[in-house]
Structure 1
Amino acid sequence: MTPRCCALTVLTCLSLISPGTYAATGADGGARPAKTHDYPTEGRVEYVLGCMDDNGHDFANVYKCSCAIDKIAQVLTYDDYVEQSTFSKYATLGGEGGAEFRVDRAKAQTRKYRDLQRDAYKACGIQQRSSVK
């Protein structure tokens, strides 16, 4: 089984068992899910696999990259995440086709996303091996 396949299997199982992190305590003393935006499992898995592609396919990165997308989901709605991460991914696309990703609004969205991702990486203990996409 490839590392990518293992990560996909683990993340799918984790999403079925525990869809959120438990950081807050309810009035009854029991744990309740931390406030987070609802991201589809496929979106979370794609993020974690991309993060592992950039930072290494060791098993610890399954958890670290999952932590990073959870941190991002606490701040951005899924639609905002998709928009900002898309601008960030294609910010260096050259030629006429990349012009849309070089306008001021796109640059601002890219900057916001990269700052947020850098903070999430730091909070989750990810040592970047390559530049953030």
Structure 2
Amino acid sequence: MTRIVVPVALAAFLAGLSTARADDGYPTYARVDYVLGCMMSNGQGPDVMRKCSCSIDEIAAHFPYDSYVAMETARTLQDMPGERASLMRGVGWVKDLLDEFRQIQVAADLKCF
């Protein structure tokens, strides 16, 4: 019985994530993804989780979600091998967007960590 309840509860929870958005436009799944990545880099535990949550809250306060999506997409494309990905590496507005995000992220980490 427990084997059925847990996946159903998890599916219901994940279905709700797709529509949950904070007032700043960041959906819950984007915040969770950031926090999980942050925790993979900085360690596990409730203290690190609070610090990583603080960091994404600070980023969301200073960086619009649409820009965050563009930045994540550009960063993913830049990390890919090949000729097509190399086209993204030399684009000026992509570099500017990534630089702006890095500055905001550093400021957020300084405040939260």
The two structures share one fold, judged by TM-score above 0.5:
yes
Higher strand share: 1
Gaps of 5+ in 2: 1-12, 14-20
Does structure 2 retain, via aligned residues, the 8 Å contact 1:65–1:124?
A: yes
Give the match for residue 82 of structure 1: 69
TM-score by length of 2: 0.70
Q: Per-residue CA shift, 1:45-76, capped at 9, x if unaligned? A: 01100111111112211100000000011112
Give the match for residue 57 of structure 1: 44
TM-score by length of 1: 0.61
- Measure how far apart 1:92 and its partner are: 4.2
Distance in 1 between the 2:80 and 2:104 partners?
A: 21
Compute the RMSD of aligned alpha carbons: 2.6
Give the match for residue 116 of structure 1: 104
- Measure how far apart 1:124 and its partner are: 0.4
Q: Per-residue CA shift, 1:79-116, capped at 9, x if unaligned? A: 11111233245444443132232111111111111111
Give the match for residue 37 of structure 1: 24
Gaps of 5+ in 1: 1-11, 13-18, 21-35, 126-133
2:35 is the alignment partner of 1:48: yes
Higher helix share: 2
Distance in 2 between the 1:90 and 1:48 partners?
A: 21
